[in-house]
Chain A
Amino acid sequence: MMSEVFPTAFLFFAGALALLALPQGRLRAGLLLAIPIAAAWQVWSLPEGGLWQVTFFGLELELMRVDRLARVFALIFTLAAFLGNLYAWHVRDAVQQVAALLYAGAAIGAVFAGDLITLFFYWEGTAIASVFLIWARRTEGAYHTGMRYLIVQIGSGVILIAGAALYYRETGSLAFETMTLGSPGTWLIFLSFGIKSAFPLLHNWLQDSYPAATVTGTVILSAFTTKLAIYALARGFAGTEILIYIGVVMTLFPIFFAEIENDLRRVLAYSLNNQLGFMVVGIGIGTEMALNGTAAHAFAHILYKALLFMSVGAVLFRTGTSKASELGGLYRTMPKTAMFCLVGAASISAFPLFSGFVTKALVLDEAASAHYTWVWAALVFASAGVLSHSGIKIPFFTFFAHDSGLRPKEAPTHMLLAMGITAALCILIGVYPAPLYAILPYPVDFHPYSGGHVVGQLQLLLFALLAFAVLMRTGIHPPEIRAVNLDTDWSYRKAGPWVLARISGLVSAIWGAVGGLFAGQIRAAIAGFYRSHGPEGRIAHIWPTGSMVLWLAILLGVTLVVVYAA
């Protein structure tokens, strides 16, 4: 064992242990903030290289492989852990606190993993730790959602280790480096990353589970799992062309679902999926600048997505609902939350001077300059979609729109503080991107505030806004009665653009049919297995002695035949 530093992940694990020794209260909440700060400082000052090796049955494991790509992800993870824990200052639930620390630690450990075995350990670690954030809601529904989430996540890990085993057979190496798709091993690893980064058709766990977690749990969940998978893809499969197409589909299809969804946290989950698409495209292009774009976008994305989840979470915390149909007009009593939400919305919509603008442009520009014209066009369209469902829908239906009559108190101070810091960072990155550009994996020579970028983006945004305004005025019959009534999503479909409704209806129908088909088959299979293997089943039946002797005779007969025939 060689060690130059204490692995950052262990810092979190030790913190989780220490946490249990402390009494519940400010001391604990304080420790929850101190650990990410210490970790961030450590990550910042780490030298590059392999810093911690362990031998594990004949294999050399590298627990701390530090390079620029790993560092930028580790940094944003510590930052996200800090903000998430600050937001959760009021939480007095040891399960959530420990889970949050272990989760962040595992995610950071995975980022520094230099080999596939270590990656696997932390990969499963994130799955197991994070499920408690869902279960912590302690409802029957949350329990089942958590189970589904866990099965998918563990499954992804099992596929990863299977892939690693095959990869080891093929290459004799377990190092986690850039791989080329082709062999079964690499395909399995790719699939495993794909599940965790919510590739289209592998994405359902995300929208299923994130809205089911606790108020604070969702904020923490949104930061790590998928971005870890993005990191893994960037590390392992940069420049794999198929990722470009997967990424494009990822940016497009969640838009339709997000448009018709009523639960605002689920809307955010869909838009998260869409944002991941931009990063996946960047990885697929695979040039240095594109990877920079992916890393930068992941960095900015974690912040503004957390900000949006925080603001909706604060509303949920105060009103007990996150349904668009039950909310509205909250700006009167939650003005600060509303303002922060607008900052988040502006960032995700990539308004100039906000963080999304300076990072998304990196990916878009690379797509354009690598001559993926239609990819670029699709991404532009997706950007407009982002604006519609995240940039407008979230703040509009929560804080404006019709007055729901709710008069909740403003969010608690620590939540405001967490949101304030996050919002400030979003704006800071947008206004002055140089520090972010400086920590990216490769040197950056990029000027987001060129005339072309700004004008192009503003055109896009303004037209999208215009379209929304027109639809709002014309799509709803009597404008003087409540502007939008979202009692059911049926009425919203009527209000929304009917094309989107048709497409999304079709997509959901297909999904429903496929899901129904499989659900039916799976249920039938389980029933069948129960009939045969259950306690009353024939196979589990304890037969009388005679039947066992019969088996013995049969087996002897077969054995004799085989022996004589051979």
Chain B
Amino acid sequence: MATEGVQHVALSLTDHLPVLVVLIPFLAAPLVVLIGRNRLAWPLAFIAAIGSFVVSAQLLMQVGDGDVLSYHLGGWAPPLGIEYRVDAANAFVLLIISAIATVLLPYTRASIRAELPERHIALFYALFLLAFSGLLGVAVTGDAFNLFVFLEISSLSTYVLIALGAYKDKRALTTAFNYLVMGTIGATFYVIGIGFLYMATGTLNMADLAERIADAQGNRTIHAGFAFVVVGIGLKVAIYPLHLWLPNAYTYAPSAVSAFLAATATKVAVYVLMRFMFSVFQPGYTYEAAILHLIILPLAILGMFAGSFIAIFQNDFKKMLAYSSIAQIGYMLLGIGLLSETGLTAAIIHLFNHAITKATLFMVVGAYVLRSGGSFYANLEGMGRIMPWTSAAAVVGGLSLIGVPGTAGFISKWILVQAALESGAWWIALLVVASSLLAVIYVWRGVEVVFLKPPQDDVDRREAPLTMIVPIWIMAAACVYFGLATDVTLSAAQAAAEGLFAGPLPLTVEH
């Protein structure tokens, strides 16, 4: 139900859904600050997250069968006006982000109260909402520069969110500063790339860009722009050698922030990469195919192994998870790099499956931190006996991380292996399996610490509060549910991959 033809007709609320999904949390953020009351901050944020979640579910239903929604911000027609463009791919990403935020928010109450001083709680929720709306905006927009704006909104608030970890560990400050520098360079690269593209084509609308780039083959400016965009987004994705900001950021941020970032931030960046690779540029262009085969694919495989090996030797649970994320991002990039519809499906479904898996695990660590005061393995010894519910969820998440059948992680890996075999690269399939075995080792190390060691004396011997257990188990149950009932996720991912692989839809410029 595209809105192109109804320019001068009063729009119903349904027509505004593409902008509402961003607007709800975006407006809730200043509201939280203005009210300034800790007690009202959480309910407001929660309501905003639910609102976004409902809207994105609606959107996904509308575009599930291959439709594309085009929303013109302020009624200004693209390519001059900003266009929000929803297809199956980004509707799916919107749903991931908003679902994670909705489940996570109740969890933040106890966790944040324990890790932040009272006076920052309202501000925390404001920042959280900003980061949340920024990520949604990145996913929903069809305008390359608007994407940059949202990217900065989410990044700037993320830097602060990470720095909030300083109340527990001062290293959060240097980490946040490091990430600030890196992230800014990445964003700058992106904006330089967009500048080049604008110089060569004179447009910022993605669909319009796609058409003009197709017309201007061999233009060196466009080539340079492409390289800058890929590397800039690559940093946000944490492609293997550009991952250095990630481990510390996830480790020293407050637990709830780690869970949110791990589940959403890099996923959105991967989505942006896919959007540029398949909708703005075309895999058919020789330079893009070369990048995918010569750079993305090898780096993906390198990341799968390097990340896993480092994770094996870690002695901090959070850091182990962070490095495992780098390996898991490798799988997504691998799916993209295989350049097939099945590969893309694998990447997209892994976006989702990894998001719920990592959210489960980071939430579990947060619960451990609440009771034991730290996330080092030494702090977590014997927590399996003290916190059986939390620890059982950790096992479920761990199994999903490995990719044990019956869990969500298996589905993505199975499709990824199928994609590798489909393109005749059986050695890649073997590498995927081999790196999964490494995951067995690092997950096992965690299980060993949590279940097989006697508990420390100086820990708070209580199970986590119910407000944490319930969200953790919703996520853990999702890990199992989406490992068994794959209809929803698989068909959404397939629709998204088909949509992306079909190339850009022509810009509608009749008005």
Contact = CB atoms under 8 A, between A and B. Distances in A.
Given A529-B313, A545-B182, A562 B235 contact: no
Contact of B486 (A57, A530, A539, A545): A57
Interface in B413-432: 414, 417-418, 421-422, 426, 429-430
Nearest to A548: B244
Contacts of B426: 166, 184
Contact of B437 (A158, A551, A558): A158
Contacts of A162: 417, 429-430, 433
B181 A556 contact: no
A273 B230 CA distance: 57
Contact of B223 (A117, A554, A564): A564
Contacts of A564: 220, 223, 287
A120 B231 contact: no
B178 A161 contact: no
B227 A556 contact: yes
B92 interface: no
A414 interface: no
Contact of A535 (B313, B421, B490): B313
A269 to B, nearest CB: 26
Contact of B414 (A158, A165, A565): A165
B247 interface: yes
A565 B220 CA distance: 11
A559 B405 contact: no
Given A165-B417, A529-B313, A562 B306 contact: no
A185 to B, nearest CB: 10
A559 B189 contact: no
Nearest to B179: A545
A552 interface: yes
Given A533-B313, A555-B234, A563 B422 contact: no
Contact of B421 (A56, A58, A166): A166
B291 A161 contact: no
Interface string A134-154: 000000000100000000001
A519 interface: no
A566 interface: yes
Contacts of A555: 231, 234, 239, 241-242, 295
A169 interface: yes
B387 interface: no
A548 B242 contact: yes
Contacts of A542: 244, 247-248
Interface string A403-431: 00000000000000000000000000000
B132 interface: no
B238 to A, nearest CB: 11
B421 A566 contact: no
Contacts of B490: 57-58
Given A169-B418, A563-B291, A545 B227 contact: no
Interface string A513-537: 0000000000000000110111101
Contacts of B315: 535
Interface residues of B, number: 59
Nearest to B485: A57
Given A552-B235, A559-B291, A533 B405 contact: no
Determine the interface band of chain A, counting residues with CB < 8 A from chain B. 35 or more
A162 B430 CA distance: 8
B433 to A, nearest CB: 5
B12 interface: no
A562 B295 contact: yes
Contact of B418 (A165, A530, A533, A543): A165
Contact of A539 (B182, B230, B310, B414): B310
Nearest to B414: A165
A58 B294 CA distance: 34
Contacts of A560: 223-224, 227
B433 A562 contact: no
A121 B405 contact: yes
B405 A548 contact: no
B294 A562 contact: yes
A308 to B, nearest CB: 33
Nearest to B487: A57
B315 to A, nearest CB: 6
A551 B241 CA distance: 7
Interface string A156-182: 001001100110110000000000000
B287 A158 contact: no
Contacts of B437: 155, 158
Contact of A551 (B242, B286, B404, B418): B242
B223 A169 contact: no
B314 interface: yes
Nearest to B405: A121
Contact of B189 (A117, A552, A566): A552
Contacts of B430: 162
Contacts of B242: 548, 551-552, 555
A532 B302 CA distance: 14
Most chain B CB within a 10 A radius of its CB, from A57, A537, A554, A564 = A57
Contacts of A543: 244
B470 interface: no
Interface in A488-533: 529-530, 532-533
Contact of A559 (B220, B230, B406): B230
B57 interface: no
Given A120-B405, A165-B414, A533-B310, A563 B486 contact: no
B411 A57 contact: yes
A549 interface: yes
A56 B310 contact: no
Interface string B241-282: 110110110000000000000000000000000000000000
Contacts of B436: 158
Given A166-B426, A556-B228, 11 more contacts: A57-B486, A120-B405, A165-B429, A166-B429, A537-B310, A542-B244, A548-B245, A549-B181, A551-B241, A552-B186, A552-B231
Which 10 pairs show the lowest CB-CB distances between chains A and B? A566-B290, A57-B486, A533-B309, A534-B313, A566-B287, A559-B227, A540-B310, A563-B287, A548-B244, A551-B241
19 contacts: A56-B486, A120-B405, A154-B440, A158-B433, A168-B418, A530-B313, A533-B313, A534-B310, A535-B315, A540-B313, A542-B244, A547-B244, A548-B245, A551-B241, A551-B244, A552-B231, A555-B242, A560-B224, A563-B227
Interface of A: 56-58, 117, 120-121, 124, 143, 154-155, 158, 161-162, 165-166, 168-169, 184, 529-530, 532-535, 537, 539-540, 542-543, 545, 547-549, 551-552, 554-556, 558-560, 562-566
